[in-house]
Structure 1
Amino acid sequence: MTDAVDVNSAVRNVLRDETWGQHKQLHLHASFRALFKGTLDRSGYRALILRLYGFYVPLDAAIAETLGSSGFDAGDYAYHPRAPLFAQDLVDLGLDDAALAAAPRSPEAGTKISPNTLGGVLYVVEGSTHGGGVIDRAARDLLGDGPPDGRRYWDWCRTKGAYRWEMTNRLLLRLKEAGTPQQDLIKGARQTFQSIADWLMPLDRPSPSAGRSTESLS
């Protein structure tokens, strides 16, 4: 058991170290910073959720397709699609079905996923649930206490993140033991960070405090 834990920790440490720069840059995104500072209005928040929805619609599909690939053994790992949670948040925030159908989709999300890179993709996606729990507090300050209308995704991250991270770690260990090349895992993580950064870029605005640290998003 100790050896398995050490291997799993080593895999996570490599992925963390190899993507640290990209991870840090995502923390500095203006919309997230404004949300934490209490300066993001509801319109800006809705634009952020809409953008995330457009990212996860194709990514959810690509992850599901790869998990279903012939011969891919995911063990007890089961992916939970994110797009439906964001869709419900958007409905809560006033969008209708037509607006959701017309929402732009990321052309890059999920296009480069393979069975060998999937572990790195999920390292990023599932790891972000940790930050989602933190974001939930800031979203509650914006939207108000009570039912999680408009922040269902962040509330889900807060309540399910720890369980999902444990499950993801078991998958990473399984992939490592099956001989998945480490460089492919790194590639999947890097590509995922880059694709979400590119997709969120239109919402990024210069911030006078961009040089200071912000709360961790994951």
Structure 2
Amino acid sequence: MHPPAHDVAAPSLLEALRSGTAQLHVALEKRLPFFSPRLDVDWYGRLLAAYYGFYHPMESRLYDSAMIPVGFDQTLRVKTPTLHSDLIALGLANPAIVALPLCPSLPPLGTPAACLGVLYVLEGATLGGQVLRREMARSLGLDASNGGAFLNVYGAETGRRWKDFLDYLGHVPLDDLGRQQAVDAACATFRCFEQWLDSQEVLL
């Protein structure tokens, strides 16, 4: 359960995002192989490469869009470099990483509200990463030094940065149309991500 934000506007947007994406979120979680007994380091590496193939173009488009509402500190939130470092730690050379396929179908970012929807998915994933981090340490012996840093990308700051993000959401004024645009973009992000991972044959 995510902690509530202080601002009275946040629960309205937050609840719309939660309820609007709930089914897609659960459906994707069921297909991710992190808890599969068949998951090995090779499969994990292919999964992380597929994550890189989505996050790299997604973050580039998002942060170059100039549409993110003021107050979001992207320099603290970018995750592609950590994925790159993990892939290096897992044995991929830089030329191989540069040559990785990138997701060609990304959610539309036509409005500031849409950017918020995408950010909700990307930031929310850091909370789930905490559970996955512990599982990968247990089952594969992975930690921040040998390929598991992305699952703990914010480290001890994970909870604080999620709360800060909720506070940020609570201070962005959105009308009903804006909230719907945010939900639609969040749903599109889940769909695009699952379709991309599926195309890379890394899902259950």
The answer to whether the superposition gives a TM-score over 0.5 is yes
Does residue 92 of the first structure (1) align with residue 89 of the second (2)?
A: yes
8 Å Cα contact 1:132-1:154 kept in structure 2: yes
Larger RCO: 1 or 2 (CA < 8 Å, sep 6+): 2
In structure 1, list runs of 5 or more residues that go unmatched.
207-218
- C-alpha distance in structure 1 between counterparts of 2:143 and 2:47, whole Å: 21
Deviation track 1:110-132 (CA, whole Å, cap 9, x = no partner) reads 55453220111111110111101
The runs of at least 4 aligned residues of structure 1 exceeding 6 Å deviation read none
Q: Which residue of 2 aligns with 1:170?
A: 167
SS of the residue aligned with 2:153? helix
Counterpart Cα distance in 2 of 1:165 and 1:26? 21
Q: Deviations over 1:52-81 (max 9, x none)?
A: 001011111112113x34xx5422x21222
Instruction: Say what the alpha-carbon RMSD is for the aligned residues.
Output: 2.3
Q: How many residues align?
A: 197
Task: Look up the match of 1:25.
Answer: 27
Cα deviations by residue, 1:110-159 (Å, 9 ceiling, x for unpaired):
55453220111111110111101111011112442665320011122453
Question: Does 2:47 correspond to 1:74?
Answer: no
Contact 1:126 1:161 in 2 (8 A): no
Q: Residues 118, 147 of structure 1: CA spacing in aligned structure 2 closer, same or farther, 3 A cutoff?
A: closer
Equivalent AA in structure 2 for residue 124 of structure 1: V
User: What is the identity percentage for the equivalent residue pairs of Structure 1 and Structure 2?
Assistant: 26
* Alpha-carbon distance between aligned partners in 2 of 1:147 and 1:188, rounded to the nearest angstrom: 31
| Structure 1 CA distance for aligned equivalents of residues 124 and 143 of structure 2 | 26
Q: TM-score, normalised by structure 2?
A: 0.86
8 Å CA contact retained: 1:15, 1:120: yes
The 3 A distance-change label for structure 1 pair 164 and 8 is: same
Task: Give TM-score scaled by structure 1 length.
Answer: 0.81
